[in-house]
Amino acid sequence: MDRGKPFFHPYIPNTVPEIRAEMLERIGVTDVEELYQAIPKDLRFKGKLKLPKPYPSEYELKRHVLSILSKNKTCEENLNFLGGGCWQHYVPAVCDEIIGRSEFLTAYGGTAYSTFGRMQAQFEFQSLMGELVGMDVVSMPGYSWGSAAANAVRMASRMTGRREILMPKTVSPERLATIRTFCKSTCEETGIAIQLVGFNKETGLLDLKDLEKKISSKTAAVYFENPSYLGFMESQGSKISQIAHRAGAESIVGVDPISLGVLAPPSDYGADIVVGTAQPLGIHMNYGGGTLGFIASRDEEKYVVEYPSWLISLAETVKEGEYGFGFSRFERTSYIGRDKAKDFLGTVAGLWTIAAAVYMALMGPRGFQEIGEVILQKSHYAINSLSKCKGLKVLYRSNAFKEFVVNFDGTGKKVNAINRGLLKYGIFGGKDISKDFPELGNSALYCVTEVHRREDIDKLAQALKEVISK
């Protein structure tokens, strides 16, 4: 912008000089500087911020941003087999339509009256998710699956007065890292210790003997995931919960809810607290920005009072038969409790919550059954195809849901070299887990969902054969 020229911006109505003069006059000052008199002179920023020359016209701005964004290569333009906590599922157009609505997109907190619609939609998320996980209390989701799991283990710790958590070594490294951050404290006595439990090298399932050995009267909770990070279904859920309960510990299960049309809800195998993400339910990957994480439990006061989350409750109004909404036991939260609160709360993931509600409504019971079925069929077709490639071995293949571990030890090639080779075919190969799970050798975590067609999987198998043989 030229120096000396008055500054106008279409986003700022009151930059018009006449309006500004009128406002300053009403305030009773001649210059805006007078309003800043509280800020000491030596703290005032001298000069002009060194920022790039802006693009004041919307057209130029769009050209500029698109010129950078266009350097991204997307999962739509390529064939993607990455999952591991952020998954490529189909997002129905209705989900995008609803969360694109100004009213939802640009509302914030408001009240039960001013943002009534968002509260009902978010209550509906809680209700729909309650049916999938088989629990009567579901929170409005927080930040991510990992942070929800972290909140849940802290809930268990407060409830039991114990400070140790057990979880399988197969837990997602990203989620484990998040849980660790929340379990540390300024000193050992107030922190929560995390102990990892071994797993069966053949099946991936939790080593029950190791669990029995490690569990004690100090254990606050056992946390495990279903399907697990490595893709297999943990079929010993009832036994794990029994072992936890016998020791007076809580059983916490993390789930990917896209599986729950065909997989048993955690409430069937003894879970006390369920956590999970809803990203697969109508939310784009957004470079990992589509995360959110809910907490669910039985409808018992001892659980409810430990939630750090927003809990939207259906309520009556003064008009007979009318639905209203409000927050239950809000004094739990950091908005009231400050340093005495249950963990902390803030701006969470309201828009994604609404998208997931729409998704669950669209899918219905049959949609969830069908998507579970088709994911199983396609992933097992991929498992069979890849198993036939020379040098490849698929681990935990018999009970995989949508992800599975492919071991490349027999190829003499590293995963990153394989993946670089696949890129030339326009394929994003599975996530390299060799460093996170050295005991699994040179391995990658592959993800197959309903978005993959048979020819995509065949193309992957063919490309792998060629890359390996090079």
Q: For other proteins, give the closer residue by CB, 195 or 399.
A: 399
Residues 52-91 as x/- pattern, contact with other proteins by CB under 8 A = xxxxx-x--xx-xxx-xxxxxxxxx-x-x-x-xxx-x-x-
Q: For other proteins, give the closer residue by CB, 104 or 410.
A: 104
CB of 112 to other proteins, least distance (A): 5
Q: Contacts with other proteins in 412-451 (CB under 8 A)?
A: 419-420, 423, 428, 431, 450-451
CB of 465 to other proteins, least distance (A): 18
Residues 6 or more apart whose Cβ sits within 8 Å of residue 163: 157, 191, 192, 193, 218, 220
Residues shown for the chain: 470
> What CA–CA distance (Å, rounded) separates 140 from 126?
6
> What CA–CA distance (Å, rounded) separates 323 from 123?
11
Q: Does the footprint of other proteins cover residue 208 (CB under 8 A)?
A: no
Nearest to 145 by CA among 43, 79, 223, 64: 223
Nearest to 131 by CA among 414, 365, 439: 365
Q: Does the footprint of other proteins cover residue 98 (CB under 8 A)?
A: yes
Q: Contacts with other proteins in 355-414 (CB under 8 A)?
A: 357-358, 360-378, 380-381, 384, 398-400
Nearest to 247 by CA among 206, 203, 288, 215: 215
Q: Within 10 A of 430 (CB to CB), how many other CB atoms are there?
A: 27
- Select from 204, 280, 350, 421 the one that contacts other proteins (CB under 8 A): 350
Q: 194 forms bridges with which residues in the sheet?
A: 165
Answer whether 204's CB lies under 8 Å from 395's CB: yes
* # residues contacting other proteins (CB under 8 A): 222
CB of 294 to other proteins, least distance (A): 11
Q: Does the footprint of other proteins cover residue 314 (CB under 8 A)?
A: yes
Q: Does the footprint of other proteins cover residue 158 (CB under 8 A)?
A: no
CB of 439 to other proteins, least distance (A): 20
Query: CB under 8 A: which stretch of 111-119, 194-202, 214-222, 246-254 binds other proteins?
Result: 111-119
Calculate the alpha carbon distances from 220 to 77, 141, 164, 375, 447 in Å: 46, 23, 6, 35, 33
Answer whether 261's CB lies under 8 Å from 130's CB: no
DSSP state of 332: G
Q: Is 337 exposed, middle or buried (0-12, 13-18, 19+ CB in 10 A)?
A: middle
CB of 250 to other proteins, least distance (A): 19
Q: Does the footprint of other proteins cover residue 21 (CB under 8 A)?
A: no
Q: For other proteins, give the closer residue by CB, 19 or 469.
A: 19
Residues 294-313 as x/- pattern, contact with other proteins by CB under 8 A = -----xxx--x-----xxxx
- Select from 209, 388, 390, 453 the one that contacts other proteins (CB under 8 A): 453
Q: Does the footprint of other proteins cover residue 161 (CB under 8 A)?
A: no
CB of 46 to other proteins, least distance (A): 9
333 sits in the region (left: phi over 0; alpha: psi -120 to 50; else beta) called beta
Q: Does the footprint of other proteins cover residue 246 (CB under 8 A)?
A: no
Q: Phi, psi (5° rounding) for residue 150?
A: -65, -45
Q: Does the footprint of other proteins cover residue 265 (CB under 8 A)?
A: yes
